Structure 1
Amino acid sequence: MIRSIILLLLIFPIISCSKGGDTPKEEELSLPAAASLIFPSNNSECIEGVVKNDTQSSVTFQWEDATNADSYELKLKNLSTGVTTGYNVIQNEVTIELDRGSAYSWYVISKSKNSKEISESAVWRFYNANATISSYAPFPALLVSPTINQEIVFSSEGIVLEWTGSDVDKDIVAYDIYFGFSNPPELYQENLNTPKVENVVVKPATNYYWKIITKDSKGNISYSNLFQFKVK
C-alpha cells in the first residue's frame, strides 16, 4: 500500500508538467489579428468623400475591429508622389483629407499593448474622385515575380517575369517591360497584352532590374516600382 502511494506521488508531478507545457503562451493569446478593410474599396473610384475645395476632399477610412487589437496604424501612400503617411488611432476608422484625382494605396497595422507582435492587413488601392477627370490612369502594376531582392537559381530555360495590372476604367490595352542588368533598365518588350513573359534569358552571377509601364485606351500610363533581383 505504501509503495503504491509513493508511485502515485512520483507520477503526479510528471502529468502536471505535461499539461502545463501544452498551454499557449500569453504572448500568443494576445497576438492581434489582421484587420479586414472595408472602405474605400479596392481598385475603385472613391466618390463618397466630402469635397473641401477644388483640390481636396475628406474620406473616412473604415475597417473591421481586429481580435486582440487595441490600437491601429493606417498607412496611406500617394501613388503619384510616393509619399507614405501613418495615422495612429484607437478606433476602426479615421477621416483624412486627400488630393482629388489622385491614386492611393492603404493598409492597416493591428497593435496590442499586451504583445510586441503586430499584424498587417491586405493592401488596397483606389482613386479619390475628381469630377473634372473623365478617365483615370491605370494603377501602377504590381510586380509578382521575381520579387524585390530575390535570388534565383540559374536555369538555361530562363526565368518568368510576372505582374498584375488593374484600372478603375477597366481599359488597359498594353504593357511595356523594361528589363536588364543596367539601372535604369532598357526597353525589353512593348505592347504586350498579357501580364506575363516566359523564357527570359539571363546569365548566372548577375544582378537584374525590371519595371512595367501600363497603358490604357485613353493614352494614360502608369509606372510600377523598380525591382532588383539576382541570378545565382
Structure 2
Amino acid sequence: MNRLNNKYIGLLITVILFSCGGGDDGPPPNQLPGLIGTVQFPTANLLCIDNNITFDWNDATDAEDGNNVTYRITIARDRDLTDIVETRIVATSQVTILLDRNMAFYWNVVTRDSEGLESEPSPTLAFFTMGDGETNSVPFTAALVAPGDDANVPSGTVTLSWLGGDANPNDILMYDVFFGTNPNPPMISSDITDETFDVMAPDAATTYYWRINTTDGSGSRSIGRVWQFITN
C-alpha cells in the first residue's frame, strides 16, 4: 500500500511541476528596432557643393534595448543600391564620408539592435556632388511609385506612375516611356512631362516590363531600371 501511495504522490508532484513550469516558452522573440527619424542631410534630390558629405538623421530606438542601437548606412551609384560605393556600421546618427565629385548617389539607413536584428530601411534618397565649375547635373533616375515591382494587377488599362528628380531645381524634366512584354521593352512615348502614363496590358497571366528615362533641359539623361508587373 505504501508503495502505491508513493507512486500517486510522485505522479501528483510531476503534474504540479509541469503545470507551474512546463508551459513556459521563455522570453518573447526579439522585436525589430525602430526606424530612423527624419533625415537631416542630405535630403532628397539635393545638390551638394562639397563632396565630403556629413550624413545626419534623427536617432532611432529599440523597444527592448532602449537606445542601444547602431546604424548601417549604404551609399550607391544606383537607386536599387546594388552598385555600392560605401557601407558602414556606425554607433551614432551622423557620419562624414568622402565621395567622388560630379556624381549622383543614392543612400539609406537601417537600424540594428544589439543582436544584429535590422529594421526596414529608410526611404532611399538621391543627391548630387558638384564638380569644379559644375553648372549642370545629370537628373536622378526615376523612382517607382506604382504599380509596385512584381505586383499583380488586373489586366486592361494600367497607370504607370513614377517620381523624377534633379539637383538643379529650375530644370524641366522630360521622360521617355518604355513598355512591353519583352524584358528589354521598346520606347512607346518620348519627351512627356507628366509623371504618369496609361498603358494597355490586355493579356491575363502575362508579365509586362517598363522603365523610364529622364532628360533635363540641358539634354543630360539618366537611364532608368526595368520594372515589371504581372496581370491577373
TM-score normalised by the chain length of structure 1: 0.77
Give the number of the structure whose alpha-carbon radius of gyration is greater. Answer: 2
Which amino acid counterpart does residue 41 of structure 1 have in structure 2? Answer: T
Instruction: Give CA deviations for 1:125-176 in whole Å, capped at 9, x if unaligned.
Output: 1001213221111111112112211121223xx1111111111113134211
Please, which runs of 5 or more residues in structure 2 have no aligned partner? 1-26, 63-67
Mapped contact 2:149–2:227 kept (Cα < 8 A): yes
User: 5+ unaligned residues in a row in structure 1: which ranges?
Assistant: 1-23, 50-56
Letter paired with 1:27? N
Cα deviation for residue 114 of structure 1 reads 5.3
1:126 counterpart residue number: 127
Aligned residue pairs, count: 197
- Match of residue 75 from structure 1: 74
Q: Secondary structure at the match of 2:165?
A: coil
Match of 1:142 in 2: 143
- Please give the alpha-carbon distance, in whole angstroms, between the structure 2 residues aligned to 1:121 and 1:143: 15
| Mapping for residues 41-190 of structure 1, pairs under 5 Å | 41-47=43-49, 49=50, 57-68=51-62, 69-79=68-78, 83-84=83-84, 85-113=86-114, 116-155=117-156, 158-170=157-169, 171-190=171-190
- d(CA) in 1 for partners of 2:75, 2:99: 10
Larger deviation, residues 221-230 vs 199-208 = 199-208
> C-alpha distance in 2, partners of 1:197/1:219?
22
The aligned counterpart of 1:52 is none
Rounded to whole Å, the distance in 2 between the matches of 1:110 and 1:169 is: 31
What secondary structure, in the 3-state scheme, does the structure 2 residue paired with 1:120 have?
coil
Whether the aligned pair in 2 keeps the contact of 1:143 and 1:224 (CA below 8 Å) is no
The answer to whether the 8 Å contact 2:209/2:226 transfers is yes
Q: Do the aligned partners of 1:138 and 1:172 also contact (CA within 8 Å) in 2?
A: no
Deviation larger for 75-84 or 59-68? 75-84
Letter in 2 for 1:146: P
